[in-house]
Each structure stands twice: as C-alpha cells, then as structure tokens.
Amino acid sequence: MPATDTPRPPALTFILPTRNRRQWVGRAIESCLQADRPEFPVEVLLMDGQSSDGSYEELQARYGRDARVRLARQPEPKGFMPACFAALLLVRTPYAAFMYDDDVLAPFWADMPREMKRRRAEFVMGFGAHGSLESVVPFERVRQLRVVTPSFLLRAYFGCGHQLSPRGLPFSPICCLTRTDRLREWQGELEGFTRGRPMREYFMMKRNAGPDLMIYLYSIASHEGEITVFDGAVAQFSSHVESITSGLEATDLLAGYWLAQVWLCGRLRRLKQGADAGWCSAYAVRQGVRLLLKRLGRRRVAWAGALLGEVVFLTARALCGAGAASFVKSSLALLLPRRRRPQFGLSTRSELLIP
C-alpha cells in the first residue's frame, strides 16, 4: 500500500526496538505493514538503539516518505527494555503491540484486531510457530477460535494449558494485541516489581526474561468479559545465536518467566481473586522449587538464596491471604496425575472465524 499525503489516523502501533539488524529489520517492518487495513490502520514505530551497521540510514531512505512508519532513535544505546519504555512514550494510538526485529507476523495477523473490534474486546491473542532466521514458515489462515474467560486463560499459563490447546502457550508479545494504556500500566507494574530487588532486576530488566510474559498476564487479568484465542500460528519466532536471550542458560530464561508468574500471584491477591490466586500460587511454588533444584543440579548457584527467599515469601503470602484455602486445595491437586486433576469448573468453547 503506497504512502499518501493525508494518511488515515492509525489505530494500532507496532513498537519495534532494534539495533544492528540490518539484514532482518526490513522484513519485520514489512510483515507489520501487511496488517494495515482500512478498518484498523497501523503504524510502525521503530526505536533504534544507535545502530552502527548502517541499518538506520537505510531505513530512513526506504521509509522516510511512508506515513505508516515512524523512525525514532535513542540518544545512546541503553539496552532493550529502556528502548521499549522510550517507545511507549511516543505511541499515539489506542492499541499497541510489540514486534521483534528478527521475527515475522503471519499474512493473516490482521484477523486478530478485526475480530477484537467485532467483539468489542480489549485483548486478543494467538499462538506462535518456531522457525529459522533464514526462512518463513508456511502460514495458514487460522479459522478455529477458542473463547475463554480470563480465569481460564490465566490458569492455562499455570499448568492447565492442555485444556485450552495442545499448542504451547506464547510468551513473546508478537502473538497478542492489547490497549496502549495497558502497556503503560504494565511498565509501571514491571518497574515497581523489580525496583530494589537485585534478582528481579537482573533477570527481568537486564536480561529481558519475563517482561514479555507479563504483558499477557497483565492484559488477561485486567480484561472484562471473554477473551478470543486464535488456535493457530499468527507469528513466527526466529531462533538464532544473536537473539536477545541467546546468552541465557536454559534455567536463566525459566527464572525470568517464573518471576512473571510470581508477580501475577500478587496481582490476583490485590484484585481479591482468591480462587485464581490460590491455584496460581500453588503452581508457582511448585515450579519455584523445581527451578531451584534444577539450577543447583546444574551448579548454577548464583541467585540460589534469593530464589529460595522468593519461594518462601510466596508460600507465606498464599497461606496468610484470602485465597489460603484455595492454595492448599490446589497444592494437593497438583500432586495428582494430570488426567485426574479437578477441572475447577473451567470450560472453553470453539467458534469459527467469520470471514
């Protein structure tokens, strides 16, 4: 779609932090632009972290006259999370989604905002496909939808995912769309959760492990009414040795995601959702113990004391709060084989995408 002199006001911003990805960033931008629709115009907000490979200059030449692409630059390379926060300040649309410069959106990604608008919802998500950096997976249009409650979807991220879909739940934000004000609130929650806590700051702010999952958890917990999940791949995660989490050992990445789950347990307690807080806390305590043992087994003793402290504190808070009974009940249920665990009244229904 060519740029025009009088562009339509965009409704959705793709926030795209990048640095020195000359070979791939153009592909990422184009996959975002193909989601542009008359009923849901898009803008790509690229935040460059002082690239030194000439990519920013090339993007200026390529997209300088395209009203759908807005180029911004950090004063100095400060890291991935600061780039995300700086870009958030510049978003001027009611909806926003993060995009990574080495990933690709499906040609049918625009079905998600269209369906979200049709249902008058505030959040929508799908699943991801894994692929190599050198190729793009053969996407097919997702026609099967799962319609679930926020409670169901949160519990899916805490051990009940098999009830939703056999697909692995996504953590990368390229598979979801939410409100811009939710993302700004997410930033405040993330900064408050990590401030003054060295382990949380290290994994979530410095190593970028966990904040992406928090986008899902915060948006879901804040949503009123049912949520639509596209039961198929809507984006591709590209695996390679220079990804932003490539320097992380496997349990380092798990630690960041686990901390995002710990955050949600506190959030649910504050919202007085005792039943959900009990289940999520029970699952998080179990996973925290497993994570600690796994790290010790791999001789990853760094942060062992802090990790144990997080598990103990989470257990104490769960036993002292309004969801204590649910926590005990859920802890016992998690001892059962998966097929024998209670369903807690959770249910999902399937619908077909309306063309």
Per-residue pLDDT of the chain (355 residues; tens, 9 = 90+): 444 445 578 899 999 999 999 889 999 999 999 999 999 999 999 999 999 999 999 999 999 999 999 999 998 878 899 999 999 999 999 999 999 999 999 999 999 999 999 999 999 999 999 988 888 999 999 999 999 999 999 999 999 888 899 899 999 999 999 999 999 999 999 999 999 999 999 999 999 999 999 999 999 999 999 999 999 999 999 876 666 666 678 899 999 999 999 999 999 999 999 999 999 999 999 999 999 999 999 999 999 999 999 999 999 999 998 889 999 999 999 999 877 877 777 778 999 998 8
Q: 49: domain CATH number?
A: 3.90.550.10
Q: Looking at the domain assignment, is residue 13 inside a domain? A: yes
Question: How many domains would you assign to the chain?
Answer: 1
> CB burial class (10 A; 0-12, 13-18, 19+) of residue 242?
exposed
Asked whether residue 39 is assigned to any structural domain, the reply reads yes
* Residue 179: inside a domain: no
Instruction: Supply the range of the domain harboring residue 15.
Output: 9-102
What is the pTM for the complete model shown?
0.94
Q: Encoding tokens for residue 292?
A: 């600690």
On whether residue 41 sits in a domain, the answer given is yes
In a domain, 255, yes or no: no
CA distance 114 to 187: 26
CA-closest candidate to residue 256, choices 303, 200, 339: 200
349 found inside a domain: no
d(CA 188, CA 169): 25
Q: Is 57 among the domain residues?
A: yes
The 10 Å CB-count burial string (b at 16+, else e) for 105-120 is: bbebbbbbbbbbeeee
Q: Is residue 92 situated within a structural domain?
A: yes
